[in-house]
Structures are given as structure tokens and as C-alpha cells.
Amino acid sequence: MKLKLKIWRQKDPHSRGKFVNYRLNDISADSSFLEMLDVLNEELISKGEEPVVYDHDCREGICGACGLYINGRPHGPDSLITVCQLHMRKFKNGDTIVIEPWRARAFPVIRDLMVDRDAFDKLIQEGGYVSVNTGSAPDANSIPVKKVYADLSMDAAACIGCGACVAACKNASAMLFVGAKVSHLTLLPQGKVESNERVRDMVAKMDELGFGNCTNTGACEAECPKGIKLTNIARLNREYYRATF
């Protein structure tokens, strides 16, 4: 495959960025998107040029590190996958591919396609956990949990914190992420003790960090690689109102 790449290049958070054009030849349709970027970087390094900086880690769709905006969509032109699971067969020979970082005030660009997602870590630190006394592991059936709640909690726990919901939202809202974390813990008996404090603190921190609010466009659910549902935002709102009023 022959491709034209239009990639956002930015030296540091304080520099002015711009799109730079690159051309690649002989890219296998079976290679992954990140492998294609690896080929580009090898060519740039061989020419003595700076490689394109981007985040990645597991390359198995588990960690969510590889967040890129590709042709106007978070994680590219496929559904329920991360960038590392995207293959070049989704593109055509001669295509122009526009690659950008996440665009959100809470996710400042570090360099090129890499953004600082510490804001998600700060949200987790604010309440995305359960406080328990340590000791030996309890029996599996010592705290019964209804199956419907267990299933909903596990579905919410599938969130990998990639930030696609923020990137897709016109308001750069993190409510799907926060809703998933609140749902995951509040639906279980172990999480109910701190549920009021958790939801108040996480929502306050979300506002403090500069994330926008939800206006129910549904772009977050449509672009989430793990299929996290909008119902988690509804549950977040209910929990917040109950904890506040």
C-alpha cells in the first residue's frame, strides 16, 4: 500500500504545532496501525530526522495507552477497538490518513501525538477505589451479589481509561469514564459504604480539571473501544443527586 500521512507535530506543550506530510510505500495491509507508524519512524531515524512521538504499551487492546485521533475518529475507522488493534486493511491504497492527538484542555499535548492523561489518574485518586481492612481473602460467597448487579458492575469495569470518550465529546466531557468507575463500585456491596463521598469528590475533581459536561450526544458511547454504555452516565447523575440532596 502507498499512503500519505498528515501527522500533527508539536515540539512541546508550549510550542505551536502543525501538520506535517509524509509518504510511505509498500505497507502491508496485514500490519497494524502502530506497526505502520513504526515503519515511518524507522525511515525518519535513518534520515536523521526526529521520529513521531506517540503513546503505546500492551498493543493488545488492554491498556488504552495508544489513543490517537485518526481521520476524525478516536481510535480510527473501526468500532470497539483501540488503535493497536486497527489494521491497515481498513484503509485503501493511496489514502490520506490524518493523525492527531486527543484534543481536550484536560489532556495537554506533551509532544506530537502524546498527551498528558494524568487527569484520569487524579479522578481515580479522588474516589475510584474501595477502602477495606486488609487480611486473608474472604470466601467467594461471603457477600452475596445479585447477578444483574454483578453483570452491570463488570461491564462498567471494562473501561480502560483510554480517553476516547473525552476526545469524541464536543464538550471534552469525562462523564462516561467517571460514570463507569462510579457504576463499577457503587453497584457492589463493598462500594456502597463510600458511595456518597466517592461520587461527590469525583464530580468535583472532574470540574476542577477542566472537563466539560454531558449533553447526551452519545459520541462517547459510539467511540468507546469497550462499549461502555450511556446508562452509566445516567447512574452517575442519579448517584450524585442522591448524595447531594
- Sequential DSSP letters for 57-86: S-SSSSS-----EETTEET-SSSS--GGG-
**Whether 130 and 219 share a structural domain:** yes
Under the banding of pLDDT at 50, 70 and 90, the label for residue 231 is very high
pLDDT value of residue 134: 67
pLDDT tens-digit profile of 3-31?
Answer: 999 999 999 999 999 999 999 999 999 99
Residue 187 has pLDDT above 90, yes or no: yes
Distance CA 105, CA 231 (A): 25
Amino acid at 118: D
CATH of the domain at 166: 1.10.1060.10
Range of the domain at 48: 3-110
Degrees, nearest 5: CA angle 178-156-206: 5
Entry pTM: 0.93
Q: Judge whether residue 216 has pLDDT over 80.
A: yes
Domain count, the chain: 2
Q: What is the C-alpha separation between 155 and 225, in angstroms, rounded? A: 13
- pLDDT tier at 177 (50, 70, 90 boundaries)? very high
Judgement on whether residues 141 and 240 belong to the same structural domain of the protein: yes
- What pLDDT is stored for residue 132 in this prediction? 76
Which among 123, 236, 119 is positioned nearest to 182, based on CA atoms? 236
Q: Are residues 44 and 148 in the same domain?
A: no
Is there a single domain that holds both residue 105 and residue 122? no
Question: What percent of the chain lies above the pLDDT cut of 90?
Answer: 90
Three-state DSSP at 115 gives strand
- Structure confidence at residue 92 (pLDDT): 96
* Nearest alpha-carbon partner for 230 in 222, 239, 241, 242: 222
**Which one of 53, 76, 110 terminates a domain?**
110
One domain, residues 49 and 143: no
Residue 139 is predicted with a pLDDT of 79
65: CATH:
3.10.20.30
pLDDT digits (tens, 9 = 90+) for 123-174: 999 999 888 776 777 777 788 889 999 999 999 999 999 999 999 999 999 9
Residue 9's nearest CA partner among 114, 112, 115 is 112
Tell me: do 91 and 59 sit in the same domain. Answer: yes
Please give the DSSP secondary-structure letter assigned to residue 100.
E
Rg of the chain over Cα atoms, rounded to whole angstroms, equals 20
Question: pLDDT tens digit string along 53-74?
Answer: 999 999 999 999 999 999 999 9
What pLDDT does residue 190 have?
Answer: 87
The answer, yes or no, to whether residue 228 has pLDDT greater than 90, is yes
In a shared domain, residues 129 and 232: yes
Helix (H, G, I), strand (E, B) or coil at 132: coil
Q: Which residue has the higher pLDDT, 198 or 190?
A: 198
DSSP lists the bridge partners of residue 8 as 19
